[in-house]
Amino acid sequence: MATARVLTVANTSCLLSKTTSFLAKQGPYSTSLCFTRRRAASSLSSSSRRSFACTAIYNPEVQIKEEGQPETLDYRVFFVDRAGQKVSPWHDIPLQVGNGVFNFVVEIPKESSAKMELATDEPHTPIKQDTKKGKLRYYPYNINWNYGLLPQTWEDPSLANGEVEGAFGDNDPVDVVEIGESRRKIGEVLKVKPLAALAMIDEGELDWKIVAISLDDPKASLVNDIDDVEKHFPGTLTAIRDWFRDYKIPDGKPANKFGLGNKAANKDYALKVITETNESWAKLVKRSIPAGDLSLA
């Protein structure tokens, strides 16, 4: 049985023109992408100041519609607009909210172990449980934070990152680890501010982890950069790194590695990562880069 719940998503977008509706018939990517005029600056501080300077244009509302039963191969969490049409949480939910705040789509609630992820190769990119050899995948232990993705970002598998051992992107949206105290729901869209970035290298692929906090968390006003995380959430950055380093070991796989000196980078660097992967996503949806099996619907 399908269920639905209403969520108010973003009130701004850097990516659609004023003439584009939430799901225009011609597709949401036929208009100019204004952020491409603001390339990442060579200075990290300049990047954080100059990026995402576009104007609020619409205030969409989406519903979450579940199909199938949780913890089955058929379970999907779809997003639908006000007209009841399916939309993509990856392509159609705006990245930028404004004033350094971003939309974050929850895939895995904290204190759970089902490995939920965006089905990037399925129409409308719903959330599903990952599988291996036809069986549902679970982490060997619960994840301790809310986990999900930044919409309208993409880690380009054809692009080598010279700052992170020349690793190529993992072909997915950028991951977010949200450190707030509340346990969120699958498909919930939160407004978050980035605080740090970890450069995980998973079987040779670069898999960024942006550490962020939801604006409605009681400690949100206290944390604005990496040093604040260490002060108000002591040990959390190390715990996140160690969790993602070790979670495959119980399955007999080697530990994941991390670039950037095995340490978390600061907020400015996290914003640089978001800028670059947002630009990669724009090239993807404009068909400047081959999409392969990815769904752009």
pLDDT value of residue 278 = 98
Active-site annotation holds for 139: yes
What is residue 50's predicted lDDT score, i.e. its pLDDT? 38
Classified as helix, coil or strand, 79 is: strand
CB 246 within 8 A of CB 252: no
pTM: 0.82
Query: Residue 8, CB half-sphere, CA atoms under 13 Å: how many?
Result: 5
For Cα atoms 176, 182, 188, give the angle at the middle one, nearest 5 degrees.
55
Alpha carbons 50 and 154: distance in angstroms, whole number: 20
- Of the candidates 29, 58, 139, 147, the residue annotated as catalytic is 139
* Greatest Cα-to-Cα distance within the chain, rounded to the nearest angstrom: 52
Q: Can you give the pLDDT at residue 115?
A: 98
Q: Of 216, 274, 215, 209, which Cα lies nearest the Cα of 15?
A: 274
Mean pLDDT per 10-residue section of the chain, whose length is 297 residues: 48 34 32 33 39 36 94 98 94 95 98 98 98 96 98 98 97 98 97 98 97 98 98 98 97 96 98 98 96 94
Domain extents for the chain? Answer: 89-286
pLDDT of 297 reads 80
Cβ atoms 56, 96 nearer than 8 A: no
The CATH code that applies to domain 89-286 is 3.90.80.10
**Beta bridge pairs of residue 193:** 213
Q: Residue 61: its pLDDT value, please? A: 81
pLDDT of residue 42: 36
Which residues lie closer than 8 Å to 238 by C-beta, 6 or more apart?
A: none
